[in-house]
């Protein structure tokens, strides 16, 4: 699984001109799933995301997690994170999982985040055409690949 995590002052997801998710201070997490991803990949990422110390403490040092600040999270599925641009100029998405594989992992990922945070995690709608609006705070943007745990 690949994620792009953005620390935000606010974020929202709109589908067909209707806001389906909105948060203030917290994280916007874009998640891409491929066929080789497992529940273990998902669980590892959940722990990493919930405890990632990227919020400022009283000295404005990035020393607090989204859990520490009682922040919110929006999770948005994004198959384009698995784009391959090796050949030509049109990206290939061959590595991105089909819905029958990706949806159960995505749903479990969200549920595990809710358990870890102790509160509701907002989401977009899997496979929908979404408009994602965010105010990146910092800016802080971090990419994590569960297959490359450095």
Active site residues: 80
For residue 69, the tally of other CB atoms under 10 A from its CB is 13
Measured between alpha carbons, how far is residue 14 from residues 18, 20, 22, 132, 135 in Å? 5, 6, 9, 6, 15
Pull the structure tokens for residue 6.
Answer: 């953005």
Contact predicate 134/28, CB 8 Å: yes
Contact predicate 51/31, CB 8 Å: no
Burial of 84 from C-beta contacts in 10 A (0-12 / 13-18 / 19+): exposed
CA distance linking residue 64 with residue 67, whole number of Å:
8
């Amino acid at each position: 699984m690949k994620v792009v995590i953005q620390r935000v002052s606010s974020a929202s997801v709109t589908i067909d001109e209707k806001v389906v998710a909105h948060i203030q201070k917290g994280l916007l997490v874009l998640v891409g799933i491929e066929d080789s991803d497992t529940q273990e990949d998902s669980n590892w990422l959940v722990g990493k995301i919930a405890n990632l110390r990227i919020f400022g403490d009283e000295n404005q040092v990035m020393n607090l997690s989204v859990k520490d600040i009682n922040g919110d999270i929006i999770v948005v599925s994004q198959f384009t994170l698995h784009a391959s641009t090796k050949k030509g100029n049109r990206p290939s998405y061959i590595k991105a999982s089909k819905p029958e594989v990706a949806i159960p992992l995505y749903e479990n990922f969200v549920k595990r985040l809710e358990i870890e945070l102790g509160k509701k995690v907002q989401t977009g709608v899997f496979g929908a055409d979404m408009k994602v609006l965010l105010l990146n705070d910092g800016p802080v943007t971090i990419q994590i690949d569960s297959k490359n745990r450095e």
